[in-house]
Amino acid sequence: MKRWIVRAASGPLKGAVRVQGDKSISHRALILGSIAKGVSRVRGLSRGEDNAATRRAFEAMGVRIEEEPDGALLVHGVGLDGLRASASPIDCGNSGTTMRLLAGLLAGQSFASTLVGDASLTRRPMGRVCKPLRSRGARIDGQFVAEKNDETAPIEIRPMPADIGLSELEYDSPVASAQVKSALLLSGLYASGSTVITEPVVSRDHTERMLSAMGAPLKVMGPVVMLDPHEWDHWLAPVDFTVPADPSSAAFLLVAGAVVEGSRVGARGVCINRTRTGALDVLRDMGCAVLWSPKGDEGGEPVADLFVSEKSGALRSGARVGSELAVRAIDEVPALVAAAATVPAVSEFRDLRELRVKESDRIEALARVLRAFGREVEVLDDGLRFEGGALRPTWVSSEGDHRIAMASALMALAARGEPAFGSVRGATVIEDTECVATSFPGFVTVLRGLGADITEEELA
C-alpha cells in the first residue's frame, strides 16, 4: 500500500513538462494497429497500467508488439481477420476502455472470448455495450445483476459463424460515451451492413479520427457517425505517429499551477481535440485563462503547449459545469473540483451522472474528499454544489481511484488551516495511491519537480 504526504505549497510551482501520451489515443493505437494490415509505429504511447492491459490482450491474441531502442512501439498488425483466441480470459484490469472496446471488436470474431477485470471494473455497467451489440446479432453476455438491472463483467462472447455475421445497426445512444460509440464502430468493421450511431452530445472522437486516417469508410455529421462497409476493401492501413500528451493528466498539473499563487506551469505537446478541452473552458470562466501555443497536428489530432502563469489570471469565480461541458471535461472533473475548492464562491457541477459509474462513484468520492478538507457539500443526483474557501490539512483515501488521489493532492497544496484528525505534522496524508499508475505513473515525481512538497511512502 502506498501513501502520499503533501504539504501546502510554500512557494510558486515552476516548470514545463511533457506528460505521457494520451490514454484514450494509446488504447486506439494498440487496438487499431493490431488489426491493421502491416506494421504501425507509435511513439509516446502511455505507459500506464490501463494501456498495458490493452497491449497484453492483443499479445495474448497473437499480435507481436515490440519496443524499439528509442521507445517507439512496433505493432505488427495481423489484419481484420488475423486475431486468434486468447488461451485464457482476457484481463482488462481497471480499464473500462479496454473492456468495452474489446467487447465490440471481439463480438465479430469467429472465436470465443471472455473479458474479466478487477473488482472496480467488475462493478461497472456493461449492458450499454452488450445490448446494442446483441441487437446486431452478437452472441455476447455479461452477468446480469438484478439490483443494478444491468450487466457487468465477466463478459462472455461466443464465436460468430462466418456464414451469419453481424448485421447493420442504427443506434441512438442514451449516453454520450466514446467507449460505447467506439465499441459499436469496431463491431461495424465486421458487419455486413452499415453502423449509424447518434449521440446526445459528441463524445471524444479519437476512434473516428484514427479509423478515417487508416482508410475506413467513415462519415461524421455532427453527433451522427456512420460506417458503411459497402464498397470498402476491408483493410486498415497502419499508422506512424507520436501520441499527443494526455490532456486529462495535464489538467492536474495546470490546476496545480492555478491553485498555487505566482506559479508558472507548462504542459507540452498536449492533445487539444475540442472533445477534450472542456476543463480549459471551465478554468477560463473561473478567471484563469490557460495560454495556448499551437504546435500543429499529430496523428490527426491538434496539439498545443499549454501554460498557466501570472498572465493567465487567478481563480476567482466558482465553477459552472453542465450540459456539453460535462462531456468535454468528464475526466477532469476531479481536478476542477479541487480548483473550485480553493475559491471562496459557490461552484456547481451538474449533468454528471456518468461520474457515478467511473472507476469509483466520483460524485460521492469527491464529496467525501471535500468534507475531509473542511468544506460543506451538497450531493446532487447528477453532481455537486459547494462553496470553496479555506482548506485544512487532512487524511483521505483514494479508495482505489487514480483521479481522486490526484485531486486530493491538489487540494492538499492549498490546505493551510487547522490540521484535521489523521493529518501528519500539519501535512495531508493521501492513502491508497498506487492506483495512480493506471493513468499517470510518475505523478509524484513530476509534481515534486515543479516544486511541490509531496513524498511517497510504501507501507508494509
Residues with active-site annotation: 331
- Preceding amide of 393 cis, omega within 30: no
- Cell numbers representing residue 423 in the block: 493529518
Nearest approach in angstroms of CB 424 to ligand S3P is: 32
Nearest approach in angstroms of CB 66 to ligand S3P is: 24
Nearest approach in angstroms of CB 53 to ligand S3P is: 13
Instruction: Tell me which of 319, 330, 341, 410 binds ligand S3P, using CB under 6 A.
Output: 330
117 or 137: CB nearest ligand S3P? 117
Are 179 and 129 in contact, with CB atoms under 8 Å apart?
Answer: yes
24 or 360: CB nearest ligand S3P? 24
Are 334 and 362 in contact, with CB atoms under 8 Å apart?
Answer: yes
Q: With CA atoms as reference, report the closest residue to 392 among 431, 427, 418, 426.
A: 418
Nearest approach in angstroms of CB 212 to ligand S3P is: 16
Q: What does DSSP assign to residue 110?
A: S
Instruction: Tell me which of 177, 187, 249, 277 binds ligand S3P, using CB under 6 A.
Output: 177
Segments in 11-118 forming alpha helices (H):
23-34, 49-60, 96-107
Owner of C-alpha cell 445490448:
131
Task: Looking at residues 225 to 264 of the shown chain, list those that interact with ligand S3P (rule: CB under 6 A).
Answer: none
182 or 263: CB nearest ligand S3P? 182
Q: Does 54 bind ligand S3P (CB under 6 A)?
A: no
233 or 381: CB nearest ligand S3P? 381
Instruction: Tell me which of 26, 179, 342, 347 binds ligand S3P, using CB under 6 A.
Output: 179
Number of residues that bind ligand S3P (CB under 6 A): 12
Q: Does 401 bind ligand S3P (CB under 6 A)?
A: no
CA 138 to chain centre: 27
Q: How long is the chain?
A: 460
Name the strand (E) or helix (H) holding 247.
Answer: helix 247-259
Q: With CA atoms as reference, report the closest residue to 250 among 238, 264, 267.
A: 267
Owner of C-alpha cell 471562496:
344
Q: Is the dihedral of CA 291, 413, 432, 336 positive or negative?
A: negative
| Gap between the Cα atoms of 26 and 65, Å rounded | 13
Nearest approach in angstroms of CB 455 to ligand S3P is: 28
Task: Looking at residues 58 to 97 of the shown chain, list those that interact with ligand S3P (rule: CB under 6 A).
Answer: 97
8 or 45: CB nearest ligand S3P? 45
CB atoms under 10 Å from CB of 322, counted, come to 13
Q: Does 24 bind ligand S3P (CB under 6 A)?
A: yes
Nearest approach in angstroms of CB 151 to ligand S3P is: 15
Binding residues for ligand S3P (CB under 6 A):
24, 27, 97, 177-179, 182, 203-204, 330-331, 354
